[in-house]
Structure 1
Amino acid sequence: METIKKMILNPISMLLIGLCLGVASRLLDIYTQNLGNIFSQMAIWILFGTIISIYSQTKKKAMLNMLPFCIGMLITYYFVAFVTDGVYSNTFIIGWTAFAIICPILAYFTWMTKEKGLFAKIISFDIVLFSVLSTILLFDKLRVYDIFINILLIYFLFFKKVKR
């Protein structure tokens, strides 16, 4: 299991996974309404980022894994949008790019959620709060899939044990 985790949780693999998820996300936007909606909102990406961060071996590795994942996803998402004459705005590109650039810092703190103490619980609570609020403020309301994603987020942050 550790070998598989090391094969997946490294910057090259994270870039490749990000590239693939960017294409998949954009194609889901085009061809499916429900799945496209799920992968166009922040909650699912916060969940993915949380999982990548907490399973990374160190804070530094969490940071090094998140940047290529996010950048890869953005490159292919907007490339496919461009090639397919999809609708996208510079505001969304700038917003998602800013989010991708700060993701290594967020990964650093997210990694700490599996440590002991009050600070780890505060970070965990803030991640869930940000996920819920971003869904409400940016995408107008919580949907059934948002609730499910946030339940998974709570599970990974508060209940799932991680060996390091």
Structure 2
Amino acid sequence: MLCNPFSMLLAGFALGIVSRLFDLYTQNLGNIFSQMAIWILFGVLISIYSRSKKKAMLNVFLFCIGMLITYYFAAFMTDGVYSNLFVLGWTGFALCSPVFAFFAWMTKEKGILPKIISIGIVSVSLLTSVIFFDRLRFYDFIINGILVYFLFFKKVKR
């Protein structure tokens, strides 16, 4: 299965480099991959397709750490401009990602609590675009539409 710790670390490494290349060479994709909504979507997908809560927590953590390591290494190597506040913010996000993954994994369980968690995830995704990045953009609606589909409609077999 693709959703294992080693492949998630490699995927994180790869997306860290790709994200930095997007920053350098494509403004639109660079903007999308600089915001939290896309990373929330990736984290949710990794979580819900992991076989257990513990695997989800480990998979998402390794994905986030891999992405951060290669992104900031590539930024350093390309003389990228980034603030310490962004480094701390994304590091905090990565360190909290196992908790986020735990709750995201639960969204595919039965009952009212998973629906409440799903609403919370979508709300946070939307709010981060407004609070941290000053407004919702067209691609935020697309990303969050995909998020809604996977959280509320897509059936996942474990």
CA deviation string 1:2-35 (max 9, x = no partner): xxxx2x1111110000000000001100110000
1:147 aligns with 2:149: no
Which runs of 5 or more residues in structure 1 are unaligned?
Answer: 1-5
Residue 49 of structure 2 is matched in structure 1 by: 55
Of the three residues 92, 113, 116, the one matched with 2:86 is 92
Q: Distance in 2 between matches of 1:54 and 1:90?
A: 32
The amino acid across from 2:130 in the alignment is I
Deviation at 1:140?
0.7
Question: Separation in 2 of the partners of 1:39 and 1:129?
Answer: 19
How large is the Cα RMSD of the aligned pairs? Answer: 0.5
Q: Using the alignment, how far apart are the partners of 2:144 and 2:60 within structure 1?
A: 20
TM-score, normalised on structure 2? 0.99
Q: 1:64: Cα distance to partner?
A: 1.1
Alpha-carbon separation, structure 1, partners of 2:6 and 2:52: 17
**Aligned match of 2:126:** 132
The corresponding residue for 2:4 is 10
Quote the residue 1:23 is aligned against: 17
Name the SS of the counterpart of 2:107 in structure 1.
helix
Q: Distance in 1 between matches of 2:88 and 2:6?
A: 24
User: Counterpart of 1:122 in 2: which secondary structure?
Assistant: helix
TM-score between both structures, scaled by the size of structure 1: 0.95
- Which residue does the alignment assign to 1:3? none
Query: Gaps spanning 5+ residues in structure 2: where?
Result: none
- Structure 1 stretches of 4+ with a deviation exceeding 3 A read none
Partners of 2:24 and 2:74 lie apart in 1 by: 10
C-alpha deviation, 1:95, in angstroms: 0.5
